[in-house]
Structure 1
Amino acid sequence: MVLLQYDMNMSTRTLSKPSRFHLSDIIDAIVQLQSLIRTLYLFTANDFMTFAIPTTLFAVFGACSGPVLTSNPNPDLLSTLLRLPAALLGVWTNLLIFNISNQRSPSAVEEDKINKPHRPLPSGLITSDGSRRVLLAAVPLVLLLNWTLGAWQETLLLFTSTWMYNDLQGCDEDWILRNLLIAVGYGLYSCAALRIMTGSEHSITATGLQWLVIITLVMFITQHICDIKDQEGDRSRGRRSAPIVLGDELVRWSVAVPILVSSIISPMFFGLRLWSGMTLSTLIIGSTVAARTMVYRDLKSDKLTWKLWAFWTCWLFALPLAKDPRVVAEIWYHLSGMVCPNGDCYTGLNVAAVSGVALVIEGRRLYGHFGAWLVGNVTVPKIVVEGVM
């Protein structure tokens, strides 16, 4: 800002020089922003693919199912998918609040030094007091964001369950209470995402709410599969998780059997026959997860089984699409209309192929430029394009 000064003795006016921005200040600001983004992501990194993505997919499948779960009789595919980033943002920001709250206590830091040493607190990227300050700023911002997205009720309930789980140590009290709080949270995340994906002009029907309850129950009776791989850290913290209380053998049975039962009951909710393709595929995937839980018991296998369990839950989330074949037909009609306008599939597919290659190449270029800036050292894979016909 330019300041006007008046000198009484000289009777002249002089202009003071404006302050200058130094390049080093700008670089420091960019570095600090990069560090903040990376730290926030690392708080949620372990749960992004196994929690944020599945709950968002639940919302995508539910919204695309139209009248099966929502009041929208004929959802437009493009309009629905355009709400996908907002739904994912709503889920991720709520997940961020939970994870920071969950990871900042001294006992949690000690546990993560064993189970997840790459997280921000055990790796020294941020202090416990620093994470507290982040929460002070993030909580009202996340609530405001989800208010604009139309999911503020679920967000308030998630804040409450986060407080009970972390600050009131519900996660350490008993494995049943721990499972219950996690399952309720999962249902709230899914409900919030579905509400955002559905849009403000439509609502979740009674059937949709019943499906949310079923998914919450499925999470309650199966999600302690996540604790099997974390037994060492839970034991060091004194947490009464299911594997610690029940023992390794019994806890595996307590996961495998409910997965098989859920693989049968969930399709039945939508009236799918036992020998239908969707029911059989659900049962096959569930049986694979259950069998791996019982047979493969080393840490590496348990981690892979946990990821397969997350995939199985995503398969359950797709069941509403199989309820009404017209829903799938409508989605196919929209996709074919975009790819093959006026029945000209050759031109449409060629444009799609060229555009896809261009996106991959441009994505590789941007990844090479900004990947290291965001997540540290990266190796950019080579892409060889032989030709597009």
Structure 2
Amino acid sequence: MRAPTAATPSRQRPAFTREGLVTWRFVYRDLTASLLPGCLFVLAGASHSHADAAATGRALARAAVYLTLFIYIFCVANQLGADPREDQANKPDRPLASGLVSRAGAWRRWLVAMAVFPLLGWTLGVLWWALLWQAITVVNNFTPVSRWGPTRDAIIVPGAIVQLAAAWQQIAPLDATAWRWILTLAVVLGGLGLQMQDLRDLDGDRMIGRRTFPMLLGERTSRRYLAVLILAMPAIVHILLYASRVDRAEVLLCLVPVAGLSWTVAWRVLTLRTPAADRLTYSLYTLVYCVTLAGGIPLLR
């Protein structure tokens, strides 16, 4: 009997179940950098605007649908725009690399999602953020921008801005407080996050000639630079986001998990240098982003 291929089991499932599996395989690596932080920022906005439970629940549901499609269109484009050799080296379980879907099938999914996404954005009152995200997705994945460290890092900052702004607007108008959080998180945590991600993908990047920051600076220098910035992350978060609160005990409770995760990440960056370790380190770094946002729920009341 012929052994089943990676794609065979999914084709035996009902269409809806199979499509759910395909979607999961496209996006699961990026949910802690997209869906989860966006929903946490909705809760922070609800706290800030004193929204009731019913309004908060509706906003969370809207944000969850929007953010799922938000990351889906990016991930599918990222895999369509990638050199097949890169995914075979770095992420062989991705749908295209594993044979779960064909390139034609991925293109059909992406074009349908790209058509639906601005309609969803218009329905939810965030059309311009949706259009900006589509532009960022195309530029990042289908132009040379992502092949050079400085431009690759620069484009992630507006990406984080449009993510967080659209999430907040599901529950409250954008005000000075919202913008302070959005800009701080996008510039400090967002820009740094891509460099963390690049550490795990060095083999594939070298294979296709991409010049990321760890390659431009050298891996050892890059790791030291990242570790210093991540060690300073709790202080940066406190000064720029948390310090305005007068309840010091509450601030401390929010700052402790940020510090614990940040310092764990810094230690791992310096001492654990295998691709598998770097993948986990990056995942832990995305949780720094999440717990920082979670601190806004009690602190923005």
1:65-84 equivalences under 5 Å are 65-66=47-48, 72=49, 74-84=50-60
Structure 1 match to 2:46: 64
Q: Give the conservation status (yes or no) of the 8 Å contact 1:112–1:119.
A: yes
Q: Give the conservation status (yes or no) of the 8 Å contact 1:55–1:193.
A: yes
Q: Give the conservation status (yes or no) of the 8 Å contact 2:193–2:286.
A: no
In 2 relative to 1, CA 276–38 (structure 1 residues): closer, same or farther, beyond 3 Å?
closer
1:279 lines up with 2:255 in the alignment: yes
Q: Give the conservation status (yes or no) of the 8 Å contact 2:32–2:287.
A: no
In 2 relative to 1, CA 316–140 (structure 1 residues): closer, same or farther, beyond 3 Å?
same
Describe the SS at the equivalent of 2:174. coil
Of 74, 95, 99, 1:124 maps to 99
What displacement does 1:237 show?
1.7
Describe the SS at the equivalent of 2:232. helix
1:137 lines up with 2:112 in the alignment: yes
Higher helix share: 2
Structure 2 match to 1:214: 184
What displacement does 1:50 show?
4.0
Describe the SS at the equivalent of 2:96. coil
Structure 2 match to 1:47: 30
Tell me how far apart the structure 2 counterparts of residues 320 and 158 of structure 1 sit (CA, whole Å): 24
Structure 2 match to 1:323: 299
Q: Give the conservation status (yes or no) of the 8 Å contact 1:242–1:251.
A: yes
Of 253, 260, 268, 2:224 maps to 253
Q: Give the conservation status (yes or no) of the 8 Å contact 2:34–2:163.
A: no
1:146-295 equivalences under 5 Å are 146-172=121-147, 174-196=148-170, 198=171, 202-218=172-188, 219-269=190-240, 270=242, 271-272=244-245, 276-295=252-271
1:297-336 equivalences under 5 Å are 297-323=273-299, 327=301
In 2 relative to 1, CA 166–279 (structure 1 residues): closer, same or farther, beyond 3 Å?
same
Tell me how far apart the structure 2 counterparts of residues 255 and 76 of structure 1 sit (CA, whole Å): 40
**Which blocks of at least 5 consecutive residues in structure 2 are unaligned?**
1-10
Residues 269-296 of structure 1, C-alpha deviations (whole Å, 9 max, x = no match): 2325698343344223312211221122
What displacement does 1:87 show?
0.6
What displacement does 1:242 show?
1.8
What displacement does 1:38 show?
2.1
Structure 2 match to 1:342: none
What displacement does 1:30 show?
7.5
Q: Give the conservation status (yes or no) of the 8 Å contact 2:73–2:110.
A: yes
What displacement does 1:113 show?
0.9
Residues 194-250 of structure 1, C-alpha deviations (whole Å, 9 max, x = no match): 212x1xxx4121121121011111111343111111111111121111222222111
How many residues align structurally? 285
Tell me how far apart the structure 1 counterparts of residues 20 and 298 of structure 2 sit (CA, whole Å): 39
Describe the SS at the equivalent of 2:210. coil
Kindly provide the amino acid, as one letter, of the partner of residue 51 in structure 2. P
Structure 1 match to 2:76: 100
Tell me how far apart the structure 1 counterparts of residues 222 and 256 of structure 2 sit (CA, whole Å): 26
Describe the SS at the equivalent of 2:95. coil
What displacement does 1:97 show?
1.0
Tell me how far apart the structure 2 counterparts of residues 213 and 306 of structure 1 sit (CA, whole Å): 21
Q: Give the conservation status (yes or no) of the 8 Å contact 1:63–1:80.
A: no
Tell me how far apart the structure 2 counterparts of residues 213 and 35 of structure 1 sit (CA, whole Å): 38
Kindly provide the amino acid, as one letter, of the partner of residue 315 in structure 1. V
Kindly provide the amino acid, as one letter, of the partner of residue 44 in structure 1. V
Tell me how far apart the structure 2 counterparts of residues 259 and 96 of structure 1 sit (CA, whole Å): 28
Name the stretch that deviates more: 314-323 or 174-183: 314-323
What displacement does 1:158 show?
0.4
**Which blocks of at least 5 consecutive residues in structure 1 are unaligned?**
1-27, 67-71, 328-389
In 2 relative to 1, CA 237–210 (structure 1 residues): closer, same or farther, beyond 3 Å?
same
Tell me how far apart the structure 1 counterparts of residues 12 and 218 of structure 2 sit (CA, whole Å): 50
| RMSD over aligned Cα atoms | 2.3
Kindly provide the amino acid, as one letter, of the partner of residue 154 in structure 1. W
Of 63, 67, 75, 1:91 maps to 67
In 2 relative to 1, CA 304–163 (structure 1 residues): closer, same or farther, beyond 3 Å?
same
Tell me how far apart the structure 2 counterparts of residues 258 and 132 of structure 1 sit (CA, whole Å): 39
What displacement does 1:83 show?
2.4
Residues 98-129 of structure 1, C-alpha deviations (whole Å, 9 max, x = no match): 11111113x43221111111111111122222
Q: Give the conservation status (yes or no) of the 8 Å contact 1:222–1:258.
A: no
Describe the SS at the equivalent of 1:223. helix
What displacement does 1:80 show?
0.5
Percent sequence identity over aligned pairs: 27
Name the stretch that deviates more: 235-244 or 30-39: 30-39
